[in-house]
């Protein structure tokens, strides 16, 4: 997981303009696998201005993520977390979560999101940490 976080950091550092970084998130969002409609229920809805669903389940302590968003940036944020955590053991996620948060803060991602998107990102991270 740490290697994937470092790869995101390297990519973001190669993109000095925030417009380019947002475009990168949009591209990530386009790669997000389709979420089964059965998981698009109120308990999986993330508080956001867009329709954002994020479902996390652990089977034999391995994380599986299903996400859907009708807006590009929230979809990109969900896809970023999907890329980091889907198929990863719970222990690895818990061990690397402080590093992920530190990198997101260092890159300015958390501070450069709108309040709604920032809260949505933090809520998705919280779901991964449970």
Tokens describing residue 91: 């222990």
- Quick one: average pLDDT of 123-130? 92
36 φ/ψ angles, rounded to the nearest 5 degrees = -60, 140
Give 79's Cβ-side CA count (13 Å radius). Answer: 21
Confidence check: pLDDT of 130 > 90 = no
More confident residue, 47 or 74: 74
Sheet with 62-69, strands from edge to edge, namely 45-46, 52-59, 62-69
Summarised one tens digit per residue, pLDDT across range 12-58 is 999 989 999 999 999 999 999 999 999 999 999 998 888 999 999 99
SS (H, E, C) the chain: CHHHHHHHHHHHHHCCCHHHHHHHHHHHHHCCCCCCHHHCCHHHEECCCCCEEEEEEEECCEEEEEEEECCHHHHHHHHHHHHHHCCCEHHHHHHHHHHHHHHHHHCCHHHHCCHHHHHHHHHHHHHHHC
């Amino acid at each position: 997981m740490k290697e994937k976080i470092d790869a995101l950091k390297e990519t973001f550092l190669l993109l000095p303009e925030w417009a380019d970084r947002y475009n990168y998130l949009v591209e990530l969002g386009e790669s997000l696998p389709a979420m089964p409609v059965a998981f698009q229920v109120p308990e999986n809805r993330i508080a956001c201005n867009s329709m954002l669903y994020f479902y996390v389940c652990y089977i034999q302590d391995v994380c599986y993520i299903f996400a859907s968003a009708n807006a590009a940036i929230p979809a990109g944020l969900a896809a970023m977390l999907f890329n980091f955590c889907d198929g990863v053991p719970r222990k690895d996620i818990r061990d690397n979560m402080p590093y992920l948060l530190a990198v997101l803060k260092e890159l300015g991602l958390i501070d450069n999101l709108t309040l709604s998107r920032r809260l949505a990102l933090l809520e998705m991270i919280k779901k991964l940490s449970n």
